[in-house]
Structure 1
Amino acid sequence: MKIGILQTGHAPDELRPTIGDINNLFERLLDGQGFTFETFAVVDGDFPDGPDTCDGWLITGSKHGAYDDLPWIAPLESLIHDVYRIGRPLVGICFGHQIIAQALGGKVEQFKGGWAVGRQTYDWQGEQIFLNAWHRDQVVQRPADATPVASNAFCENAALVYGDRIFTVQAHPEFDSTFIDGLIKARAGTVPPALIETAKDNLTKDVDNTHLATQIGAFFKGVKS
Structure 2
Amino acid sequence: MKIGILMTGHALPEVQADRGDYDSMFAKLLEGYGFDFETYDVVNESYPTRPKEMDGWIITGSKHGAYEDHPWIPPLEEFIRATYAADVPMVGICFGHQIIAQALGGKVVKFDGGWAVGGTNYDIEGQDLNLNAWHQDQVIKLPEDAKVIGSNDFCANAALMYGNTIYTIQPHPEFDAKIMEHLINLRGKGLLPEDQLDSATQKLSKVTNSNVIADRIARVFRQEA
TM-score over 0.5 (shorter chain): yes
- Aligned match of 1:88: 88
When the two chains are superposed, the root-mean-square deviation of aligned CA atoms in Å is 0.7
Per the alignment, residue 56 of structure 1 pairs with: 56
Displacement after TM superposition at 1:206 (Å)? 0.8
Q: Does 1:73 align with 2:60?
A: no
**CA-to-aligned-CA distance 1:90-128 (integer Å, 9 cap, x gap):** 000000000000000000001111000000001123321
Cα deviations by residue, 1:43-62 (Å, 9 ceiling, x for unpaired): 01111111111010000000
Q: Determine helix, strand or coil for the equivalent of 2:13.
A: coil
Q: Spell out the pairing of 1:1-40 with structure 2 (5 A cutoff).
A: 1-40=1-40
Q: How does 1:138-153 map to 2 (within 5 A)?
A: 138-153=138-153
- The answer (yes or no) to whether the contact 2:2–2:55 under 8 Å persists in 1 is yes
Distance 2:17 2:209 in 1: 26
Q: CA deviation at 1:194?
A: 1.5
Pick which of 118-127 and 82-91 moved more: 118-127
Aligned-residue sequence identity (percent) comes to 52
Gaps of 5+ in 2: none
Asked if residue 212 in structure 1 is aligned to residue 213 in structure 2, the reply is yes
d(CA) in 1 for partners of 2:202 and 2:175?
16
Residue in structure 1 matched with residue 201 of structure 2 by the alignment: 200
Structure 1 length-normalised TM: 0.98
Give, as a single letter, the amino acid of the residue that structure 1 aligns with 2:75.
P
Is 1:99 matched with 2:112? no
Letter in 2 for 1:133: A
CA–CA separation in structure 1 for the residues paired with 2:26 and 2:35: 11
TM-score computed with the length of structure 2 as normaliser: 0.98
**Which amino acid counterpart does residue 174 of structure 1 have in structure 2?**
E
**Secondary structure of 2:83's partner?**
helix
Provide the secondary structure at the position in 2 that maps to 1:190.
Answer: coil
Q: Deviations over 1:22-57 (max 9, x none)?
A: 110000000110100000010011111111110100
Q: Which amino acid aligns with 2:160?
A: L
Which residue is 1:41 aligned to? Answer: 41
Q: 1 CA distance for matches of 2:58 and 2:196?
A: 29
The size of the alignment, in residue pairs, is: 224
Q: Residue 15 of structure 1 aligns to a residue in which SS? A: helix
Name the stretch that deviates more: 40-49 or 118-127: 118-127
Q: What secondary structure, in the 3-state scheme, does the structure 1 residue paired with 2:27 have?
A: helix
Match of 1:110 in 2: 110
Matched, 1:175 2:175: yes
| Aligned partner letter, 1:124 | I
Runs of 4+ in 1 over 4 A off after TM superposition: none
The alpha carbon displacement at 1:18 in A equals 2.0
Q: Counterparts of 1:18 and 1:131 in 2: how far apart (Å)? A: 20
